[in-house]
Chains A and B, each alone.
Chain A
Amino acid sequence: MSHYLVKRVLMMLLTLWIIVTLTFSLMHAIPGDPFASESDQLPEQILANLRAKYNLDEPLPVQYVLYLKNLVMLDLGPSIKSDTRGVNDMIADGFSASATLGAQAIVIAIFFGITFGIIAALNRNKWLDYAAMAIAVLGIAIPSFIMAPLLINFFAIKFPIFPVATWGTWMHTVLPSLALAFGPLAIITRYMRASMIEVMNQNYIRTAEAKGVPTFALVVKHGIRNAILPVVTFLGPLIASLITGTFVVEKIFAVPGIGKYFVDGIFNRDYPVILGTTIFYSSILIVTIFLIDLAYTLIDPRIKLTNKEG
């Protein structure tokens, strides 16, 4: 177990290092420097000072080593567009909003996805099944950036239940969380339905039924526990799609989250911000996938971590 953990953590660090290196080279592969547009307006000395502040006067390998050194100290460096606030400040700023949205969206997607999937599987080819599958198909067909304006149109303009375009109370988080959750909810519903149908056709379910196990215990203890594993495997890609989903949802709802800083960073061509947020997102994703792997063993005792393939 501890051997496995050490190996996994080393692999995670290696993956993160590759991501950092790739992103760093990508950001520095762009011709010219960030101050190219100011270069004919500013005196030579100021430009030189500006470059020195961002270490741009050093050769690339030195910049890379400096960046890695700072990264180990968890310093993601300064922003180019904002001279007083670094990338760390931006992430710290946006974290609570983004984390609130993300966490709520995950809870909504998992809870309703699993519930709808079970209802659909237990009422196969009846109207409840069709209703759940209709929701699933809509969720897959309608991207979050279309869902978000639709939600605004219905629940903020036609029926002004929820406030939009500002941020502050919990009521503001409802619509963006829903917009973010809809797609993953649909996919979880489909996975859960297929998996539940397969499990409920197994012999051990029939045996339990024949022994007279009550339906509720049959579904919860024997059905869901076995059917949920394929859904857990999907949580990794789910986190990834939630992260990219926040880019558009935070933009549409004007949420002051990390996604907004990332998108602004893209438009301002603020490379340290893009680099820093990418590293931050990748770390979250890598750690989540690791935690999900650990969670398998809790749900399914047949899987042992000591196996290489875990």
Chain B
Amino acid sequence: MAMEQRIDPLFRPLSKQSEAHDISMRPSLTNVQQVVRKLVKNKLAMLGLAIILLLVVMAIIGPHLVPYSASDQSLLTKNKPVSAEHWFGTDDLGRDMFARTWAGARISLTIGVVAALIDLIIGVTVGGIAGYMAGRGKRGERIDTIIMRVIEVLYGLPYLLVVILLMVVMEPGMLTIIIALSATGWTGMARLVRGQILQLKNQEFILASQVLGAKFSRILFKHLIPNTIGVIIVNLTFTIPSAIFAESFLSFLGLGVQAPDASWGTMTNDAMGVILTGDWWRLFFPGLMISLTMFAFNVFGDGLQDALDPRLRE
């Protein structure tokens, strides 16, 4: 009896039904669901995504919407302003700018995505190996040092300067652009992944996995890379526009896509000659597309970065 008196009278034993209240009010969300929810709430990022999707759809169907091909020349229709026949006007060879703009979108987006994917594969592999090897005996340390030295030298060069040099040496064409862009482009991704891995690999779950006898490749692909995937995806959304920018930059200088193929960069360059005559559509449409692409990928990447940042979780 003495025991019961000491207990605060406000404490009562719970009935069976009230256990239901222990269940959380909100359904628990997986990591991916949380990221998606946060991303969908970000209006600017969604606008970016919508623009990206629109550009991709137009790159696929755009050239088929008009009865002209990107390289059809016609002296009768040259330098025509925007009209019902030519939605984006025509250039000085009478080529339809609408068809050319979307043919250019195909080239730009393909180069951007393929170059970024190659950067991703090389960067993740090299960065992953360097990060894992660092601090693993003399041999591992040496491998990491060699990789980092190579990256340092490549990283210290102006990216576009190297790409220009490679383009001078190789035959011009889409494949060459992709090779030239990926030749130095992977270093950024490799540095990033190495830094992440260095941070991760001293954590307990890696040690546990090692104690259990997991192989190097298993630890790398099952533990280290999935944990860095967020940063990798964010980096990807920034390497795609920078590859697209580099392609238009090269094409603008006359080193990229060669005639009669259309690229936003070559179209902008062609428009330089008529800038004084007031044929505004020549510069406006390719310029707008380059800027929209840059804008869309950058704001989407920013939104994704915020959504993936665990410090900003509710």
Q: Which residues of A contact B (CB under 8 A)?
A: 15, 18-19, 23, 26-27, 29-30, 137, 140-143, 145-146, 149-150, 152-153, 157, 240-241, 243-244, 247-248, 251-252, 263, 266-267, 269, 274, 278, 281-282, 285-286, 289
Contacts A143-B248, A145-B252 given: A26-B160 contact, CB under 8 Å?
no
Contact partner, B271, options A27, A149, A243, Cβ 8 Å:
A149
Contact partner, A244, options B160, B265, B275, Cβ 8 Å:
B160
Contacts A141-B295, A153-B275 given: A269-B168 contact, CB under 8 Å?
yes
Residue from the set A29, A243, A247 with the largest chain B CB neighbour count within 10 Å: A247
Q: Are the C-beta atoms of B294 and A143 separated by less than 8 Å? A: yes
> Which B residues from 251 to 295 make CB contacts under 8 A with A?
252-255, 265, 268-269, 271-272, 275-276, 280, 283, 287, 290-292, 294-295
Asked if B212 is an interface residue, CB under 8 A from chain A, the answer is no
Question: Chain B residues near A244 (CB, 8 Å)?
Answer: 158-161, 249
| Number of cross-chain contacts by CB at 8 Å | 98
CB of A192 to closest CB in B, whole Å? 16
Question: Chain A residues near B272 (CB, 8 Å)?
Answer: 149, 252
Asked if B157 is an interface residue, CB under 8 A from chain A, the answer is yes
Contacts A26-B166, A143-B245, A149-B272 given: A240-B153 contact, CB under 8 Å?
no
Q: What are 12 inter-chain pairs, A to B, with CB distance below 8 A?
A: A26-B169, A141-B292, A141-B294, A141-B295, A145-B268, A149-B268, A149-B271, A149-B275, A244-B160, A281-B158, A285-B156, A289-B156
CB of A189 to closest CB in B, whole Å? 13
Q: How far is the CA of A1 from the CA of B164 in the complex (A)?
A: 38
Q: How far is the CA of A198 from the CA of B158 in the complex (A)?
A: 30
Asked if B299 is an interface residue, CB under 8 A from chain A, the answer is yes
Asked if B165 is an interface residue, CB under 8 A from chain A, the answer is yes
Task: Tell me the interface secondary structure of chain B in the complex.
Answer: helix
Contact partner, A240, options B158, B168, B265, B275, Cβ 8 Å:
B158
CB of B188 to closest CB in A, whole Å? 10
Q: How far is the CA of A29 from the CA of B299 in the complex (A)?
A: 42
Question: Chain B residues near A157 (CB, 8 Å)?
Answer: 275-276
CB of B138 to closest CB in A, whole Å? 18
**How many residues belonging to B are interface residues under a CB distance threshold of 8 Å?**
37
Q: Are the C-beta atoms of A145 and B299 separated by less than 8 Å? A: no
Q: How far is the CA of A251 from the CA of B249 in the complex (A)?
A: 12
Q: How far is the CA of A252 from the CA of B276 in the complex (A)?
A: 13
Q: How far is the CA of A144 from the CA of B159 in the complex (A)?
A: 16
Question: Chain A residues near B291 (CB, 8 Å)?
Answer: 141-143, 146
Q: Are the C-beta atoms of A282 and B157 separated by less than 8 Å? A: yes
CB of A309 to closest CB in B, whole Å? 12
Q: How far is the CA of A209 from the CA of B92 in the complex (A)?
A: 64
CB of A184 to closest CB in B, whole Å? 13
Q: How far is the CA of A27 from the CA of B170 in the complex (A)?
A: 11
Return the chain B residue nearest A239 by Cβ: B158
Question: Chain A residues near B166 (CB, 8 Å)?
Answer: 26
Q: Are the C-beta atoms of B165 and A26 separated by less than 8 Å? A: yes
Q: Are the C-beta atoms of A137 and B158 separated by less than 8 Å? A: no
Q: Are the C-beta atoms of B159 and A240 separated by less than 8 Å? A: yes
Return the chain B residue nearest A252 by Cβ: B272
Question: Chain A residues near B156 (CB, 8 Å)?
Answer: 15, 282, 285-286, 289
Question: Chain A residues near B295 (CB, 8 Å)?
Answer: 137, 140-141
Q: Are the C-beta atoms of A266 and B298 separated by less than 8 Å? A: no
If A243-B158, A251-B253, A285-B156 are given as contacts, then 7 extra A-B residue pairs at C-beta distance below 8 Å, sorted by A number, are: A15-B156, A19-B153, A26-B165, A140-B294, A149-B271, A153-B280, A266-B168
Contacts A243-B158, A244-B160, A274-B168 given: A263-B253 contact, CB under 8 Å?
yes
Q: How far is the CA of A209 from the CA of B160 in the complex (A)?
A: 46
Q: How far is the CA of A90 from the CA of B276 in the complex (A)?
A: 30
Residue from the set B156, B271, B292 with the largest chain A CB neighbour count within 10 Å: B156
Return the chain B residue nearest A244 by Cβ: B160
Question: Chain B residues near A142 (CB, 8 Å)?
Answer: 287, 291, 294
Q: Are the C-beta atoms of B290 and A23 separated by less than 8 Å? A: no
Q: How far is the CA of A157 from the CA of B271 in the complex (A)?
A: 16
Return the chain B residue nearest A247 by Cβ: B253
Q: How far is the CA of A146 from the CA of B275 in the complex (A)?
A: 11
CB of B306 to closest CB in A, whole Å? 11
CB of B229 to closest CB in A, whole Å? 23
Q: Binary interface profile of B, 220-254, with partner A (CB < 8 Å = 1, else 0)?
A: 00000000000000000000000001001100111
Question: Chain B residues near A248 (CB, 8 Å)?
Answer: 249, 252-253
